[in-house]
């Protein structure tokens, strides 16, 4: 399974889901990332405020920050290459990147007996 690394902007805590003024995009991303991890995905997050050395040690991330600055974060690497910048991946993107969709069973709906 591919490795996904997410380089977050400076957040108040490792997930960014804390405090009184929480960004809904961060909340959704945290839930989607937790879901993917529970399915077996290899996902690591790095927070600029708490793990700045991880940003400095990665040549791809350092180059991105030199060109675009920290306001362009988050940066998502898939097997070490840039997959996405400026926003978090959707659950659909995580599914496609990791191949999880091939292993998940469709949810049966009571409304029509099919997959909704």
What percent of the chain is predicted at pLDDT more than 90? 67
- pLDDT by residue (tens digit) across 49-103? 999 999 999 999 999 999 999 999 999 999 999 999 999 999 999 999 998 875 4
User: pTM score, two decimals?
Assistant: 0.80
How does DSSP assign the chain, residue by residue? --EEEEEE-S-SSSSS--SSS--HHHHHHHHHHHHHHHTT-EEEEEETTT-HHHHHH-HHHHHHHHHH-GGG--EEEETTEEEEESSPPPHHHHHHHHTGGGTSPPPBPTTTSSB-
CATH, residue 46: 3.40.30.10
58 within some domain:
yes
Residue 97 domain-assigned (yes or no): yes
Q: In what order do the strands lie in the sheet with 75-78?
A: 42-47, 3-8, 75-78, 81-85
Number of independent structural domains in the chain: 1
Question: Is residue 113 one of the residues assigned to a domain?
Answer: no
Question: Does the residue 115 lie in any domain?
Answer: no
Give the residue numbers spanning the domain of 9. 3-102
Tell me, yes or no, whether 116 lies in a domain: no
pLDDT of 104 above 50 = no
Assigned domain for 15 exists: yes
Predicted confidence (pLDDT) at residue 46 exceeds the cutoff of 70: yes
What's the pLDDT band for 25 if we cut at 50, 70, 90?
Answer: confident
pLDDT band per the 50, 70, 90 thresholds, residue 35: very high
């Amino acid at each position: 399974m591919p490795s996904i690394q997410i380089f977050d902007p400076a957040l108040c805590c490792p997930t960014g889901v804390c405090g009184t003024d929480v960004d809904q995009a961060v909340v959704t991303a945290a839930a989607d990332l937790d879901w993917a991890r529970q399915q077996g995905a290899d996902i690591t997050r790095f927070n600029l405020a708490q793990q700045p050395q991880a940003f400095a040690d990665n040549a791809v991330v350092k180059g991105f920050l030199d060109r675009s600055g920290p306001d362009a974060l988050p940066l998502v690497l898939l097997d070490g290459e840039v997959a996405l910048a400026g926003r978090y991946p959707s659950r659909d993107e995580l599914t496609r990147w990791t191949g999880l969709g091939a292993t998940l069973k469709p949810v049966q709906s009571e409304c029509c007996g099919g997959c909704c």
